[in-house]
A and B are shown apart, each in its own frame.
Chain A
Amino acid sequence: MARNSVPAGPAKKKNINNVAYLFIAPFIIVFLIFSVYPVLRTLYLSFTSYPGYGEPQWVGLANYNRVINDKFFWEALWNTIKIWSVNIVVQLGVAFLLTIVFSDIKYRIRGLSVFRAVFYLPNLIAAASIAFLFKTLLDWRFGTLNQILAQLGVDNPIPWLTSPDIAPFSVAMINAWMWFGNSFIILMAGVQGIPKDYFEAAAIDGANRWKVFGKITIPMLRPILIYVSITSLIGGLQMFDIPFLIAQGTDMTAILRGPLQTVVMYMYDFGFRTFQVGYAGSIAYALFLIILAAAVIQFKIMNKED
């Protein structure tokens, strides 16, 4: 009845549209101020010399030229890639393994929702708490892990978080632990979205578990895998909190260097320690371009196999 009572006509349609604008206005305003404006402002600043106050001085492409020739930037990028590579292999590997186990019709593991919550939990803990937790667990002399290793006969305690060679791997493992639950949930959702007919047909045809996994699960999960790996790449190359917090209080905090120096930490040094905001902006955009290029390449490679 109500619908019938609304008179049709262009004038009324306009009113409906206007009300809708009002509803979306708060989001649009907040989005423009807190997302679009900072992005555009950073782009502008990346072409300037700006110490954080006064009027920015236009320097054209000088900051980008400096990024290209800055060996410490590339070192930081290489550090980031190393940490991310180990992280993504472990993170997706564990997530995949758990997906296989939990999606297997034969195992029929109960309490999926409980496991899902437990696996996802590390993702909900503040990075500062996680850094503190692992600094305690992985302390070179009195950490739990080294204590266990000592019981097993390892004489020399391993400097998990203070050795320049080992610390990046420790950070990668911590990140993997934080994010494998997230990947698991997404992969499980993907598996549950695959029509059961495929699996039933495969079972009737006598396909074994690995064949089902390789010929049905993986191909059907490809869009999900692309999504997970690209979002992980984007997040991974922006890594900051865990390496930053782990490096605090060690000899690895020296400006511009150290095995835990990631690109975003490098950008932070320029933005907030030496107040070269323009250069920090160009590092941000250089990282954006690198991530964009890497994501496009990754997308092409993963799609090509289709």
Chain B
Amino acid sequence: MDLQSFAGPFVPEIVLLAATLLVFLLDVVRVRDNEIVGAVALGSVVLALLLVLADLGFAPLAVLATVPSSSIDASVTGAPLYSFTSLGLVFQGLFLLAALLVCLASLSRPKDERGAPIFYGLLLLATLGMVLVAIASDLIFLLLAIELVSVPTYLLVAYSRRDARALEAAMKFYIIGALSTTLSFFGASLLYGAYGTTNLHALATAEAAAGTAGYPVLVLLGYGFLIAGLAFKATLVPFHAWAVDVYDGAPTDVTAFLAGGSKKVGLFAFFLVFLAPILFVRTMASGSPFVTGSVAVGPVLQITLAFLAVVTMTLGNVLALLQKEMKRMLAYSSISQAGYMLIGIAVGTAPALAGATLQILAHVLMKTGAFLVVGAVAALGVGPLIDDYKGLGQKRPLLGVAFGLMLLSLAGVPLTVGFVSKFVLFSAAVQAKGYFVWLAVAGLLNSALSVFYYARVLKVLFFDVAEPRALATGAVVGGSEPEILPVGGLGYGRAAAIALVAVVVVVLGVYPQPVLGAIQNAAQHFVNLGG
């Protein structure tokens, strides 16, 4: 196997890896300027994103395509560690988009802040892990790639070493993360015990080959452990408790990356692991004490995931309703959004997966953007409480409008991407009939509930009168001497990232069809492949 054909498909990953090494090398040679290092990181992420878009068949970039189109969505033989699916490539794009926004915004960090190379290096490393998750086709590969995401993010949370809250958050994150990793690997080992393979395609083949034959409880236990392990990453209730403290305690840019990017890793892992057992009809061997006769296992998994979805969105929303701090409110809203996304895999049809993917895309934009705004507002010297944002929309109309658009999109108001994604997702659940209709109803009720707390923020932003002392200056807090950044204290990078999100949220809300069509195609291929 020559280098060209081996390395070819991995050019995006290699770009990220090379950039990671370069950034760490820059640290060694004492080039620690935030803007230089940041530009390297941003450049590599943008390049990787362009390569992925080219692989997805985005015509203007066709020359850059590195994955042969014949190997995308090809039916897999043997037991490879990785394979290229168009849905996987879509997710690579989403992960890189989140990384791009965070890198762009981080360009505006204070110049004299220490450790810029470490920050960007860890960010790139985690991004590399996320990109690898998207092409995994083996449980071990998948779980290791998730670890490659997790370990750098533990460090990123602890990155401001003098911030006690951040350190505490990192510690919690690490302990709970380690526990969850253990659960995931234990689940994988049970599956290996049952089937003698950890390859996802081989597992799917084994499911298919067994027809309607009995289903060993061992396998269900394995899936149970995997649900618990992956639910940590995806912040599903009741595996979510760490998320609020960590999102709250971490530096806001890191929070944006966690909520916007790395959490989606867990959701895509759900797609990879659970689609096959949901699609293939098999029955339980020993069944349940309550049940006589055989029961199909696919619906059993679906009901379990549906239950988790409803609990997650409901509890996330109710708790978000009660928060007084902006970051914690957004954290709970992020948890509830994970519930919506889980609907996609619980329903398990191509339209539902497309809806969930679109919802994830929307959430990458909205939540990353929202946390970036929160970071920007904090840098302007505004407090953490929602009430501290009073009158922001009048003092800073553009920032207020951008934030308002993100909140409207989170609430699912028409002409924003949040509406489109919810429409596609919920109508897919209705389409699937049966009890999935109730899943859509639960989703709609929850959306209605969530409008309440988003609208409250909008009211604070635009209709409440500002307190006189707030927002007096554009001085950046944190530098040794106050430094006035351009664009009203936001800095070019952060302003650009926020503006980009605001524009894309509306553009995708008004003209979603190209992106929607691509995602629907990808999801259809993914379902045809059997996971």
A, B bound = no
